[in-house]
Amino acid sequence: MAGKTDNATARTVKLQKALADAGLGSRRTIEKWIEAGRIKVDGERATLGDRVSSTQRVELDGKLVARHGHSGPRMLLMNKAAGVEVTRKSVTDRRTVFAQLPSIKSGRWISVGRLDVATTGLLLFTNNGELANKLMHPSTNLDREYAVRVRAMLDDETLERLTRGVEINGVTCRFSDIQYYDGRGSNHWYHVCLMEGRNREVRLLFESQGVMVSRLKRVRFGPFIAPNFVPAGRVVEIHTDEVNAVCEMLGLSMRARSRGDSKPTNTNRAVLIPYPNLTLPRWYR
């Protein structure tokens, strides 16, 4: 059976965890690949529940999966520009976010959630499927904050409906918080928070009240903020201390290994803010 080894003392891990750690995708995605017969271990078709050691040969669609020399979890932060798709290959020949990312020796970059083509702002990437899945999973309770420009002032009744809940396509959607931010003339900005952020949920919630969104930007994902020092369309690597702080907050045992990245000279270059259960790096203080 796939997943067994002649070396009884070899350390083994679940196959989906090993591939998630190598940056191939989330555990859930990899489980689907296993069920579809796309993965082999030592030449045999893998099954759910298989465990593997670092010495075993793992193939995805007939190609060897590189699992050695993994440097631990890494994270990137992008200030996504409008008109760029969050996909690996566009069917419309638009630019994609993945074309803007730095190369990686093993595994691949995984986007932490998505933004539609017109939405700008904070987008996270990691090379670790388990970390990506934990950040996205509803049980983690990480909220998402958006800056929204609409062409109307909302009355108290509308605000109350948007936080109480509106049924959209058979699903009850709601903002966990909504605050007026600024505005003049016909343009008014609100900041809204969501706990999950389903596809186009912000736009659909406003549209349910007869209000059209003219601009939408994600400004925060849990403790991560969209910093002013990252221009639109640019991407930066998040410091290992910050990655480790987030892993600890999420209850993950993995740790990012130092890449020789120097600590920012001040917290104006930081990408985290105080957040429940998060211990900020010492140099934040």
Task: Show which residues are catalytic.
Answer: 116
Q: What are phi and psi of 205, to 5 degrees?
A: -65, -45
d(CA 226, CA 229): 9
242 burial (CB, 10 Å; 0-12 / 13-18 / 19+) is buried
Among the listed residues 106, 88, 124, the one whose alpha carbon sits nearest the alpha carbon of residue 18: 106
Q: What is the maximum alpha-carbon separation in the chain?
A: 73
Q: Which two tokens mark 64? A: 């060897």
Contacts of 234 (CB under 8 A, 6+ apart): 78, 79
What one-character-per-residue DSSP string does 89-125 give?
A: S-SS---BGGGGSPP-SSS--EEES---TT-EEEEEE
HSE of 246, CA atoms in CB hemisphere, 13 A: 25
Q: Which two tokens mark 243? A: 């990655």
Strand duo 213-221 + 120-126: pairing: parallel
